[in-house]
Amino acid sequence: MVLIAPSILSADFSKLREDVIALEQAGADMIHLDVMDGHYVPNLTFGPQICKAVRNCTKLPLDVHLMVTNPDEMIAWFADAGADYITVHAETCKHLDKTLQAIHARGLKAGVALNPSTSEQVLEYVSDKLDLVLVMTVNPGFGGQSFMSEQLQKINRIREMRETRRFQIEVDGGINMQTGAECVAAGADILVAGTAVFAGGNYKSNIKALR
């Protein structure tokens, strides 16, 4: 069954604890944390303090997506804050293999994120170290963008790569009931959704519809 990872980027930060608890009770499988530094992407979100706060109010896995220029420096920060997954962008790592090893050394699962213009070929020589591949179906930086349907072919190609390897395929960007179904058909295992989960406030119904 497809896993649903609500992105707290769409949560109400004035009642973040209540929202996270409600997401767990509504059937979310993990909590997705979009960390942006205002340099690698044109937006600034939050740091490890928020991750720690979320960790203190849920037992769900925390899925940290580092959209930052210096991910190697941040691995320890988010490991200490309670992350379960850390995903980095291939372009931001001088030595991607070494970065993935550093994530595993902290006992966490390691992922690589691919921007819409990034080829899946960057995964070829690190695929044995991957627990997760995150396919961005929008350009990273802001929520509420339109889904890029051409990325479905990339998801399918990654699924073909996975035939002899073990990793999950996650998709983030413009996910709703229709686009989510298309991604799952192409090979996705995890859907990251912000607006589609939080819209209207009925998290349980929205998560069930996505699933």
Q: What is the CATH number of the domain that holds 59?
A: 3.20.20.70
pLDDT in tens, 138-164: 998 776 678 999 999 999 999 999 877
State the average pLDDT over residues 82-86.
98
| Helix and strand counts by DSSP (H, E) for the chain | 8, 8
Looking at the structure of the chain, the number of domains it has is 1
pTM: 0.96
pLDDT in tens, 32-60: 999 999 999 999 999 999 999 999 999 99
State the average pLDDT over residues 104-117.
97
Average pLDDT over the chain reads 95
Which residues carry out catalysis?
34, 172
pLDDT in tens, 12-39: 999 999 999 999 999 999 999 999 999 9
Rounded CA-CA distance 82/63 in Å is 10
Domain of residue 97 covers 3-210
